[in-house]
């Protein structure tokens, strides 16, 4: 254990001294405890997940220390900064507003406290404009990075385009910290929502380069997959590979499989098969990863050429390699294959039926078909039927197949 970690442990241990005993002993100040919290949180987002428990303990004891403090603690700027940083670092959301009301004579900014209270209560959408005006008064202070991140989060809700410069400023004020990690991750989310593909990819690449081992990296992976799936024509496979190159093979494979699965459900055959192939080609083959890649590429190929062969390959995948969600996806793919290959039974047709398939200009695809159906492959319009019985039989066949496909589509929608 490094000397710095020993110092952190010492501070945390001394913070556990009962409050009455602390009244007799000076003990660590709230600001020194908050600095320890910052160090621990920064270690966590850099990959030291063993520090998560230490973070929980520090949050608990800082809360106790602040609630037991006297008014004199908050006459000092250090004490006020400690209370604000604690509150904005995952602390008890009720503590800071309680301190501001308990000690009105202390130096808590009456313009700032109501805004932070709204933020801590999860009602931060309306604080962006007033908080942005206040930020200028906190330039160069300890709490500026935290307030900037709060303003950026509020802007992301009410004015997303205005949030990106604030996220950038927050991470520049606190490089390598949990503030930079949060700012980068949330700016990727805003870029996805705004359809800013290039910006989103740049920020995703920075995140992958700097915070791949953060406990929040799973959320980042979901955002990256969403960016790729929502703009498949703009995000080329080479750009995906460039971003994922900062990851180890296991993480790369995981994200490629996520992309392949979502693309298969969305009916994007090319992307699903490319992502599945990329997952298969990473390092030593993993049997489960191989099975998932085969499932996703196969599901994307249905319907298509050689439906029966693809369906057989999908059906042969071992159940043990699939999660319940993936078994449901396989069942859906098998049902679609069965529906599109089963020939119609038209026993009631007594004479030929004239079928008119108009050119593209007059043929509108059936938009009730599932998303996985290739565009334009809806059933052609049947006209000039010689008898009501024939029309009823044909309509019954179409309705029956449509009901099957719509039930499959509903299953896939639930699984998204």
What is the C-alpha separation between 119 and 117, in angstroms, rounded? 5
Q: Can you tell me whether residue 317 is helix, strand or coil?
A: coil
pLDDT band at 22 (very low <50, low <70, confident <90, very high): very low
pLDDT of residue 67 exceeding 80, the answer is yes
pLDDT band at 409 (very low <50, low <70, confident <90, very high): low
pLDDT at 413: 53
Distance between terminal CA atoms of the chain? 45
Q: What angle do CA 53, 87, 51 make, to 5 degrees?
A: 15
pLDDT at 360: 39
pLDDT band at 216 (very low <50, low <70, confident <90, very high): very high
Tokens at residue 231, please? 């703009």
pLDDT at 339: 67
Render pLDDT for 27-56 as a digit per residue (tens, 0 to 9): 789 999 999 999 999 999 999 988 999 999
Better pLDDT: 12 or 331: 331
pTM, rounded to two decimals: 0.73
pLDDT band at 295 (very low <50, low <70, confident <90, very high): confident
pLDDT of residue 284 exceeding 80, the answer is no
Q: Domain boundaries in the chain?
A: 28-108, 248-339
pLDDT at 258: 92
Ranking 73-82, 169-178, 370-379 by mean pLDDT, the lowest is 370-379
Better pLDDT: 406 or 295: 295
pLDDT of residue 165 exceeding 90, the answer is yes
DSSP 347-379: TT--S--------GGG----TTS-TTSPTT-SP
pLDDT of residue 367 exceeding 70, the answer is no
DSSP 11-45: HHHHHTS-HHHHHHS----HHHHHHHHHHHHHHHH
- Tell me the pLDDT of the chain averaged across its residues: 78
Residue carrying the six token digits 């000690």 = 103
Better pLDDT: 178 or 416: 178
Q: Which of 77, 97, 79 is nearest to 87 (CA)?
A: 97
Is the CB of residue 47 less than 8 Å from the CB of residue 26?
A: no
**Long-range CB contacts for residues 187-196, cutoff 8 Å, separation at least 24:** 187/152, 187/163, 188/220, 188/223, 188/224, 188/227, 189/156, 189/223, 190/156, 190/160, 190/163, 190/164, 191/164, 191/227, 192/223, 192/226, 192/227, 192/230, 193/160, 194/160, 194/161, 195/230, 195/231
pLDDT band at 268 (very low <50, low <70, confident <90, very high): confident
Render pLDDT for 170-189 as a digit per residue (tens, 0 to 9): 999 999 999 999 999 999 99
Better pLDDT: 326 or 162: 162
The CA dihedral of 65, 68, 73, 74, to the nearest 10 degrees, is 100
What is the C-alpha separation between 204 and 211, in angstroms, rounded? 10
Average pLDDT score over residue span 117-128: 90
pLDDT at 369: 35
Q: What are residue 97's phi and psi, to 5 degrees?
A: -60, -35
DSSP alpha helices (H): ranges in 195-323? 197-210, 217-230, 237-244, 249-266, 269-280, 287-300, 307-315
């Amino acid at each position: 254990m490094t000397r710095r970690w020993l110092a952190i442990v010492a501070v945390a241990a001394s913070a556990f001294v009962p409050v009455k005993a602390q009244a007799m002993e000076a003990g660590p100040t709230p600001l020194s405890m908050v600095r320890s919290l910052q160090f621990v949180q920064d270690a966590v987002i850099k990959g030291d997940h063993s520090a998560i428990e230490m973070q929980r303990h520090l949050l608990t004891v800082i809360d106790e220390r602040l609630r037991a403090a006297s008014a004199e603690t908050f006459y000092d700027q250090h004490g006020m900064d400690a209370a604000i940083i604690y509150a904005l670092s995952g602390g008890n959301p009720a503590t800071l507003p309680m301190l501001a009301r308990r000690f009105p004579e202390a130096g808590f900014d009456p313009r700032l406290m109501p805004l932070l209270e709204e933020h801590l209560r999860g009602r931060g959408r309306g604080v962006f404009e007033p908080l942005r005006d206040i930020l200028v008064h906190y330039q160069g202070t300890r709490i500026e990075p935290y307030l900037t991140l709060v303003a950026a989060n509020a802007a992301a809700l009410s004015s997303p385009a205005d949030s990106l410069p604030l996220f950038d400023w927050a991470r520049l004020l606190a490089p390598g910290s949990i503030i930079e990690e949060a700012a980068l991750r949330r700016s990727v989310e805003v870029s996805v929502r705004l359809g800013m593909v290039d910006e989103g990819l740049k920020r995703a690449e920075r995140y992958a380069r700097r915070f791949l081992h953060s406990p929040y990296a799973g959320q980042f992976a979901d955002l990256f997959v969403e960016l790729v799936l929502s703009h498949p024509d703009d995000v080329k496979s080479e750009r995906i590979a460039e971003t994922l190159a900062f990851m180890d093979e296991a993480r790369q494979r995981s994200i490629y499989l996520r992309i392949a699965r979502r693309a298969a459900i969305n009916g994007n055959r090319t992307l699903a098969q490319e992502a599945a192939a990329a997952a298969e080609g990473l390092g030593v083959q993993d049997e489960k990863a191989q099975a998932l890649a085969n499932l996703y590429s196969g599901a994307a190929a249905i319907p298509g050429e050689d439906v029966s062969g693809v369906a057989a390959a999908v059906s042969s995948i071992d159940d043990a390699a699939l999660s319940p969600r993936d078994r449901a996806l396989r069942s859906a793919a098998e049902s679609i294959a069965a529906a599109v290959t089963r020939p119609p039974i038209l026993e009631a047709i007594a004479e030929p039926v004239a079928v008119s398939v108009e050119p593209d200009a007059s043929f509108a695809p059936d938009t009730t078909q599932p998303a996985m159906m290739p565009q334009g492959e809806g059933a052609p319009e049947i006209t000039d039927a010689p008898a009501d019985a024939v029309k009823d039989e044909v309509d019954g066949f179409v309705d029956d197949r449509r009901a099957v496909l719509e039930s499959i589509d509903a299953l896939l929608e639930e699984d998204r």
